Amino acid sequence: MRETRLFSPFRLRDVTFRNRIAISPMQVYMAGQDGLANDWHLQHLGKFAAGGAGLVFTEGLIIHPLGRSSYGDCGIWSDDHIAPLRRITDLLHAEGAVAGAQLHHAGAKAARRRAWDDFRALDDEDAARGEPPWQPMGVSAARVVAKYHAPRAMSDAEVAAVPGLFADGARRVDAAGFDVAEIHAAHGYLIHSFLSPISNDRTGPYGGDMAGRMRLALEVAEAVRAVWPEGKPLFFRLSCIDGLEGGWSIEDSIRLATELRLRGVDLIDCSSGGIRSTSSIAAAGSPPLGYQVPHAARIRREAGIATMAVGLIIQPEQAEIILQQDDADLIAIGRVVLENPNWPLTAAYRLGSDPDRKTWPKPYGWALRGLDAARSDNAEETGA
């Protein structure tokens, strides 16, 4: 057995992760209009825990109905959402994973069709199918993308109420049994739109200079940390750069991460982009493998806070090198695990951390050991 960083335990506050692999929050648009998690979500997330991940996140759970990206989003705006989510945390825990919940408000990117329908704004055709559009609201009245609805600019009083909505969501995910909460402040959604100088042209308490633009993010962090149990970690997903001239920069992210650490945030989930595109994937184009890792590395070193690297980390060896170089503390994977839910178990086998497949579920490990033996015998016979 070979020792690896990827399969070493990691501890934050009172929570120990069995390894450094996290399943990134991914919107799947499979809830009904009530926002309730269902059997589809149960099997979707449960298989990642059975597949060996140390931490499994839900998709972004919407804190207010008007903050939905689409009618398919899971919600956390009502106590009715707690029981269905509790089924999921019970399963994740039974399979040995830490359960993470992301708290989310889409801001001006609300009232859209689902991803496979091109994120187009809901219209009369959707209304005829029972999914009428609504008026999104955001940092300003500027349209984010041409095909979206024009939002309504939020009043200062409405902005000031947002931290309480995030705190209410945090109370509910705690009641649902989650071990980690994450605040979504990336990809052009509500909090990110206040941070970025590209989108935030407000005056008053939530605009102007950097302190004003950071105010909502810091108030949300404070409100969530105040209600989130002391022993449970709090993550913060950040678009570390806008990637556009005059936009939010890595230096801005380092400053914000430092302030978040002082307010009880434990880890920065380091993504990028999305301020003027339909999604972070669309903004990235065709980037190289691990293209966001340098953001995680700089924030970890210069802000003195743990980080999670994400973005085209697809090979176990690649993930191990990131950790060996101390560029991040956790590795988040997304699309690659949709293709192979057993990616963590496969990685442990490939890296030599589990050469006998003892960490696989017993029905799988027993059968695959036989397959490994057959492969070895056939290789010897053919001289391969």
Q: Residues with catalytic annotation? A: 189
The secondary structure of 142-169 as a DSSP string is --SSTTSPPPEEPPHHHHHHHHHHHHHH
Closest C-alpha to 307, from 257, 269, 334: 269
Say how far apart CA 109 and CA 77 lie, in whole Å: 18
Residues 254 and 274: their CA atoms lie apart, in Å, by 19
Element (H, E) at 262: helix 250-262
Other CB atoms within 10 Å distance of the CB of residue 350: 14
Put residue 264 in one of left, alpha, beta given phi > 0 → left and psi -120 to 50 → alpha: left
Q: Based on the number of CB atoms within 10 Å of its own CB, is 211 exposed (0-12), middle (13-18) or buried (19 or more)?
A: exposed
Measured on CA atoms in the order 142, 146, 150, 156, is the torsion positive or negative?
negative
Phi, psi (rounded to 5 degrees) for 213: -70, -30
- Angstrom CA distances, 2 to 7, 185, 332, 347, stand at 10, 37, 22, 12
Helical packing angle, 210-227 and 156-175, nearest 10°? 30
For the chain, how many residues are written? 384
Q: Which ranges constitute the DSSP H helices of 77-188?
A: 82-94, 124-128, 156-175
Q: What share of the chain is helix, strand, coil (3-state, %, to 5)?
A: 40, 15, 45
| 211 vs 197: CA distance, rounded Å | 12
